[in-house]
Amino acid sequence: MLRKNYDIGKKNNKFHSIVAFIPARSGSKSIKDKNIKLLKGKPLLAWSIESCIKSKFIKDIIVSTDSKRYEKIAKKYGATSVILRPKKISGDKSTDLEIINHFLKRYKDFKYIAHVRPTTPIRDIKIFDKAINFFVRNNYSSLRTVHEMAESAYKTFEITKNSLLKSVGKKKLDYHSAPRQLIKKTYAANGVLDIYRSEHILKKKNLFGKRPYAFKTKFAHEIDSLEQFKVLNNMIG
């Protein structure tokens, strides 16, 4: 059952229509049951649920999964509701748009969707809430948190079938040898938070629209390997 009694003060009334959406499928190929693998004694999924609970703007937390086991874990750690999705949109090739459209068939009343990815477990809640506050008060089609890449994407290469180097984009190969200060910075999405407008998704059939805001954060650790699990386990006090 959703929490419909929002008690966050008159000045925050415009934030009533925000829901946290956490996708957590069970069929990870990189790490078996990655989304519930223990990180410092807690399932990975639990870290994102608890981040949302700490937010002063999030009241409802909905987890989308294909697993009854995951459903129990999500509810144990504070998810408001859990949607069980069909296998056809639970594979490694399923898109965010497919999963969120499935969510919107049941929950259309929320104006904003805060997409919180369990594979980025560590969040600064002040930054998290700052991003929500910024988005709701401005007229962007969506928001995505990003951090600066350690190595600009313009310094990376593709390799052709003939094992030849090829620039990413339209830059000439000599550009890769330019001083770092002369090469454009590039940014990577980091999974801390994405925010969408439900109305836009339903009308335009895409998530980000034409005015996606890049909300810059410090480097955020994402987990997609056992080595990354080990690194975070050692970092967390």
φ/ψ of residue 193, rounded to 5 = -170, 135
Rounded Cα distance between 21 and 179, Å, is: 42
Average pLDDT over the chain, rounded to an integer = 91
| CA–CA gap between residue 110 and residue 108 (Å, rounded) | 6
Kindly give, in sequence order, each residue whose CB lies less than 8 Å from that of residue 174, ignoring residues fewer than 6 positions away. Answer: none
How far is CA 138 from its chain centroid?
Answer: 20
Q: What per-residue confidence (pLDDT) applies to 132?
A: 97
Portions of the chain given CATH number 3.90.550.10 = 16-146+188-235
- Count CB atoms within 10 A of the CB of residue 27: 15
CATH number of 16-146+188-235, picked from 2.30.30.90, 3.40.50.11540, 3.90.550.10, 3.10.580.10? 3.90.550.10
Q: End-to-end distance of the chain based on CA atoms, in angstroms?
A: 34
Q: For residue 22, what are the β-bridge partners? A: 63
Longest dimension (CA), the chain: 64
Task: State CA 126 to chain mean position distance.
Answer: 17
| Interatomic CA distance for residues 172 and 160, integer angstroms | 15
pLDDT of residue 178: 86
pLDDT tens-digit map of 52-98: 999 999 999 999 999 999 999 999 999 999 999 999 999 989 999 99
- Please report which confidence band the pLDDT of residue 14 belongs to, taking 50, 70 and 90 as the band edges: low
Q: pLDDT tens for residues 154-194?
A: 888 899 999 999 988 777 888 888 888 888 899 999 999 99
Tokens of 180: 């770092």
Both structure tokens of 164? 């030849």
pTM for the model? 0.89
**Residue scoring higher pLDDT (172 or 19):** 19
In angstroms, the CA 78 to CA 56 distance is 15
Distances (CA, A) of 43 to 28, 48, 121, 188, 234: 14, 10, 10, 25, 16
Average pLDDT over residues 124-145: 97
Does the pLDDT value for residue 7 go beyond 50? no
46-82 core/surface letters (b: 16 or more CB in 10 A; e: else): bbbbbbbbebebbbbbbbbbbbeebbebbeebebbbb
Greater pLDDT, 30 or 41: 41
